[in-house]
Structure 1
């Protein structure tokens, strides 16, 4: 069996269109060479304790031990689970459940498309028929002694050592739609029952022990909370399993204030001594909420954009208000020392790193302390993933397909905001750190008192940073010039000169300038008779023949009379045809610059709408994603 996951705290995995990669990060960067994973996979997953990794291929699921004694991952078992599209491990990796799409066997019967595998032996220990992928997997307590599944409006408890055997525990509740097993040595189960026939919705908490053996009537819950306006629910236990946060939402907002429905956040203790609705002082939806791994506080991002961020105690007292910004994602590092507040999706991808220790005590943190607690910011635009490493010092962000099909790859950042590694891939679909259980992460990787210094970036990261610095250095500095004045100085001065010459009557496609008796300039038409010549008309008696037009519209001087001294060559005055090519090119460049700036202005307006929380159409999102190409084209023209 695999060794402790703490042996390799910086391992990460990704799945692309063509292969699956397990790689190690700082201090040595690079992939582990596993030929068995070099194929297109349907999905991948780590065990919650990080000891195992599973990759589902077309023909089978390969189970990888991530930390052997030698430190290199190796394929442990090949499971006969073809075409699996979803997988889930038990908390310590003893069991793996795989789900395939429903189908028919040779006799026309429905297939048992949910399988439970023993990861120690690689054998299938049970199989079931599960039509829906949503909520299809069994849930296990941390001890892995029992498996719990939902069957219609009934929870069934199975003995993990005999999952094909009889049901050993049961809970029947009318209207039950979902459940969540809590952590801890004495696990509890939170059950959600939706509204029905005017009756309120509820969350009820039962101890697992009260369901074994199966009681004849449902036991009394150890804690419960009733409420209205709840079609869906998202539940999150704290690390000790003593409190639970749950976010309720409706499909539609009857007040008409929100297109996305109405959300409410509640907190409840499993002891039954405390429950309440979390009071949020900014109108709008709840974007994200997250427990601190210490289990005594939680953070909430809420309200119409720009959203507000607030840190609460487990008794729902405000500890600190962290300002208002375009943010919709929160995550604590496993040690609970640092946390990130970020804006992804339709937002600009800014990630703020905060130090929890600098926020001070239990409540009423000053604005000054809050400002000092914000340590660093980084730009992780277009990211689909943001995860802390088990040691709490590194962030992994990734741009994934199909949300964005260009610039896919993994970026690893130090907690000081510095980029230390980049691994670009084509069509990346999943990326993740190898995890550890929260209790083991805190024990194996205590966070230092002082923020550690960033390590030396990898060669790939250094190349990215050098290219960015070179681009910034190459951009000319100076005062701002409007688009119409860029690249047009020489052309503008040429037009100005032509205009002045035209005003003085010195420019004509058929006239040439000639010197006066003393070499002085004599404009055309200022000859002996002081009359202008008409193009095409017969020259006056005694005058020289008219100049013949040369190539490209220029004037060609007539040969001098043999009886008169040869005149000095006259400098030709440029006519409109001589500058027409430059003017046309300049006009095309100016027009292109105006169009590009117009598009960039429209994109900026769309980004401002997105920051305010407005829903954008797919075409508008595509315009925003094209901003980088437009700016590149603009820089080339400038």
Structure 2
């Protein structure tokens, strides 16, 4: 049974059950306040907290018993530490008019008792939250371009600091020990920006950095560790560029063993999304001008699979890493594609239009999409889906009300086993279910009343970039393939292309069964070329008899058969 869903909106805070008992409400003490600005769960889902504009509450989700009540009415951000020991609250920064000093606005509380542990100063809301490792062994904050570290949730004294010029952003690997930290320093006065990886607490000395990557075009960076804490993705971007509306972007791969490389992408355009697999051995990148391309890379930053192109800009792995959802939200129509990562085959696809939030269920089999305010103030509501593409529930809130947030209650790792859903099982189930009625597709005025198909984009099919795929004889050639074939045919007519063989083994070239050497090398070469062309003409004639529609250049080639036979006969007689 899937966990319940928590909802926050102008109606307050309420919860509903997940599949299979959708729609029924669990025994939850609803809060009808219209000022519930923030909601948070502990990572294992055992605790829940929200602020209703009067106070901040902490509940135990097993029986919804209130554990603590904190007298903080204007909380804008909430976060539990990984083990649920600490509850961090952030308020807007204010200044005391009498002392002209800033008031502490980042507060750390004991999540079980509600006792205040420490109050700190944090002016900006961006990157407001302290970062913990999963075992809560260390906690890190960025204070005045320095990284401050605390151990064992003891916040009275800073254990150590990391000084690297003016570090503006950092990323702490959640696994460990050993613990790893990456810091980003923006470039200035002609100096490049750089990212360095360190092992805690070895920060001193010029050789302390485990890996170092520098780059010039970077106004901002996004850094993502894999779950194992062994590799880091660094997405650099500039605000503007002479070549692109989106600015310049670059994707870099860094590892704790010192390896650094640029991730080479096979299509030009912006990078929309990067995502690590929960297995930590591979990552996906959504990139390129629309229709966007999606590629899967290994830990050597080498492409191992292409998901083709399509209307997508996001990629989400389920918690177990065996299913990948490729989605197209924002200015796209809400496409959802579910891929079986073991067979790398498409399981199903559907659409969830006007989606503003997406979340996998902890069971790895269901998803939750929602349309929320203030992003969209109309048609607010949520949908529950199965990864087979079937919508299980759709709930819309009243027109005069708003939905601000919809989230699954989290669950601890291991509570839900890996789902047994595969591409084969989804296909078999779809074959047994009745087909859904098709919605009439939009056709431009010039195409109405005709049976001609209109293609807005030519999509690329999924492929393995490291595997050479032979050309299907029944598949039309692309423009580049046609050019290569025409160039090759012209070269053969001019006698410039020899049969495929090694230069040193020209005498061992496989000859046609009825070929007899005349002793004249040039004459033999001409005879071989003529026989090869005649064989090609025979194949084209067979395809024509089977009903295949040939290209114009192929039809012209068939017409040359008589002249080829006459030339061959003249050479063999002479």
TM-score by length of 2: 0.71
Is 2:149 the counterpart of 1:157?
Answer: yes
Is 2:85 the counterpart of 1:85?
Answer: no
| Residue aligned with 2:232, SS | strand
Cα 1:414–1:405 change in 2 (3 A) is same
Cα 1:337–1:129 change in 2 (3 A) is same
CA contact (8 A) 1:330 1:342 kept: yes
Alpha-carbon distance in 2 for matches of 1:16, 1:412: 18
Alpha-carbon distance in 1 for matches of 2:355, 2:444: 34
Shift in Å, 1:336: 0.9
Shift in Å, 1:188: 0.8
* Higher Cα radius of gyration: 1
CA contact (8 A) 1:266 1:275 kept: yes
Cα 1:318–1:88 change in 2 (3 A) is same
CA contact (8 A) 1:9 1:434 kept: no
Alpha-carbon distance in 2 for matches of 1:342, 1:407: 20
Q: Deviations over 1:50-82 (max 9, x none)?
A: 22222122121111222x2xxx43332112222
Please tell me the root mean square deviation across aligned C-alpha atoms, in Å: 3.1
Residue of 365, 370, 374 corresponding to 1:402: 374
Corresponding position of 2:42: 47
Alpha-carbon distance in 2 for matches of 1:358, 1:419: 24
Corresponding position of 1:517: none
Shift in Å, 1:237: 0.9
Residue of 322, 326, 339 corresponding to 2:311: 326
Corresponding position of 2:114: 122
Residue of 403, 409, 413 corresponding to 1:434: 409
CA contact (8 A) 1:390 1:445 kept: no
Give runs of aligned pairs for residues 126-145 of structure 1, distance below 5 A.
126-145=118-137
Residue of 174, 181, 193 corresponding to 2:165: 174
Shift in Å, 1:140: 1.0
| Residue aligned with 2:284, SS | strand
Alpha-carbon distance in 1 for matches of 2:52, 2:421: 44
Q: Deviations over 1:353-380 (max 9, x none)?
A: 1111112xxxxxxxxxxxxx11111110
TM-score by length of 1: 0.64
Residue of 185, 190, 215 corresponding to 1:227: 215
Shift in Å, 1:36: 5.1
CA contact (8 A) 1:172 1:218 kept: no
Give runs of aligned pairs for residues 551-590 of structure 1, distance below 5 A.
none
| Residue aligned with 2:266, SS | coil
| Residue aligned with 1:358, SS | coil
Give runs of aligned pairs for residues 544-623 of structure 1, distance below 5 A.
none
Shift in Å, 1:401: 1.1
Corresponding position of 2:3: 10
Corresponding position of 2:254: 268
CA contact (8 A) 2:109 2:117 kept: yes
CA contact (8 A) 1:410 1:424 kept: yes
CA contact (8 A) 2:2 2:362 kept: yes
Residue of 12, 26, 31 corresponding to 1:19: 12
Give runs of aligned pairs for residues 76-115 of structure 1, distance below 5 A.
76-105=67-96, 107-108=98-99, 109-115=101-107
Shift in Å, 1:381: 0.7
Q: Deviations over 1:271-294 (max 9, x none)?
A: 21x211100111111001111111
Is 2:202 the counterpart of 1:200?
Answer: no
Corresponding position of 1:590: none
Q: Deviations over 1:326-376 (max 9, x none)?
A: 2101001111111111110000101011111112xxxxxxxxxxxxx1111
Alpha-carbon distance in 2 for matches of 1:132, 1:219: 33
CA contact (8 A) 1:353 1:377 kept: yes
Alpha-carbon distance in 1 for matches of 2:222, 2:153: 30
| Residue aligned with 2:159, SS | strand
CA contact (8 A) 2:347 2:422 kept: no
Cα 1:453–1:123 change in 2 (3 A) is farther
Alpha-carbon distance in 2 for matches of 1:206, 1:35: 46
Is 2:352 the counterpart of 1:377?
Answer: no
| Residue aligned with 1:357, SS | coil
CA contact (8 A) 2:348 2:426 kept: no
Corresponding position of 1:621: none
CA contact (8 A) 1:247 1:264 kept: yes
Structure having the higher helix fraction is 1
Shift in Å, 1:225: 1.2
CA contact (8 A) 2:2 2:20 kept: no
Residue of 317, 324, 331 corresponding to 2:302: 317
Shift in Å, 1:244: 0.8
Structure 1: state its 5+ residue gaps: 1-7, 360-372, 457-465, 487-607, 612-638
Give runs of aligned pairs for residues 270-419 of structure 1, distance below 5 A.
270-272=256-258, 274-359=259-344, 373-419=345-391
Structure 2: state its 5+ residue gaps: 450-455, 460-574
CA contact (8 A) 1:233 1:248 kept: yes
| Residue aligned with 2:279, SS | coil
Shift in Å, 1:261: 1.0
Cα 1:169–1:410 change in 2 (3 A) is same
4+ residue segments displaced more than 4 Å: 449-454, 480-483
| Residue aligned with 1:180, SS | strand
